[in-house]
Amino acid sequence: DTGVSQNPRHKITKRGQNVTFRCDPISEHNRLYWYRQTLGQGPEFLTYFQNEAQLEKSRLLSDRFSAERPKGSFSTLEIQRTEQGDSAMYLCASSLFDSYNEQFFGPGTRLTVL
Amino acid sequence: AQKVTQAQTEISVVEKEDVTLDCVYETRDTTYYLFWYKQPPSGELVFLIRRNSFDEQNEISGRYSWNFQKSTSSFNFTITASQVVDSAVYFCALSESYSGGSNYKLTFGKGTLLTVNP
């Protein structure tokens, strides 16, 4: 499978716990994006990387959220001290650095905070 | 700030009917890209089309066609002879260029749930 993969696909956690999600982009893609999608809404941009550099973070990304992309390959998104409002689908996408920016999305990680 | 509006929350049609999904966008940029994505019940977003702001030609791909009109800031999507497999949520999205000269983040509309009944 050469598409974008995300793990885990589902995560149930209790409020206050920390969670970490992983995204493996398409191998030759140097851009990687994180989005969050809540029920009935479109995906909302969280952050993006070009290679290993995190170039922008949305205001949606509070201090409890941190993302990394060591060595410009896979990326992790960590949420500390989870809250019920963090319950959502977390989507990862990747693209090549070009002017067309066709982003390929992974299947997402569905987070439920109890 | 950029914004995408999909006024139709849900549409229900009978198989073989034609259906048009509306998309209106707002941007201050002169260079931008518009996209349509499909999200079937499985949840994975599937890319359908990309259009840049300098190309207003309409496009047809099989049963799908897109009508881009800068004058009304609209990028509408039509499915001809709809099929049950077309049932999904469809998202319109906008990407602006930034100072580096390349587009990056997508701003999505809220999506339109299309149900095609047999």
Q: Do A101 and B45 touch (CB under 8 A)?
A: no
Which of the given ranges, A74-83, A98-107, B61-70, has the highest pLDDT on average?
A74-83
- A33 vs B: CB within 8 A: yes
Task: Name the average pLDDT for chain B.
Answer: 91
d(CA A48, CA A75) in angstroms, rounded, equals 10
Express each pLDDT in A86-105 by its tens digit.
999 999 999 987 756 689 99
State residue A101's pLDDT score.
67
pLDDT exceeds cutoff 60 at B41:
yes
Q: Which of A89, A103, A104 sits opposite B43 (nearest CB)?
A: A89
Q: Which of A45, A56, A99 sits opposite B103 (nearest CB)?
A: A99
d(CA A108, CA A16) in angstroms, rounded, equals 22
Q: Which residue has the higher pLDDT, A28 or A76?
A: A76
List the single best residue of A103, A109, A111 to mutate versus B (max B Cβ within 10 A). A103
CB–CB of B105/B93 below 8 Å? no
- A1 vs B: CB within 8 A: no
Total residues found in chain A within this entry: 114
The closest of B58, B33, B30, B67 to B47, measured between CA atoms, is B33
Express each pLDDT in A37-78 by its tens digit.
999 999 999 999 999 999 888 888 889 999 999 988 999 999
pLDDT exceeds cutoff 90 at B45:
yes
Q: Which residues of A touch B46 (CB under 8 A)?
A: 105
pLDDT exceeds cutoff 90 at B3:
yes
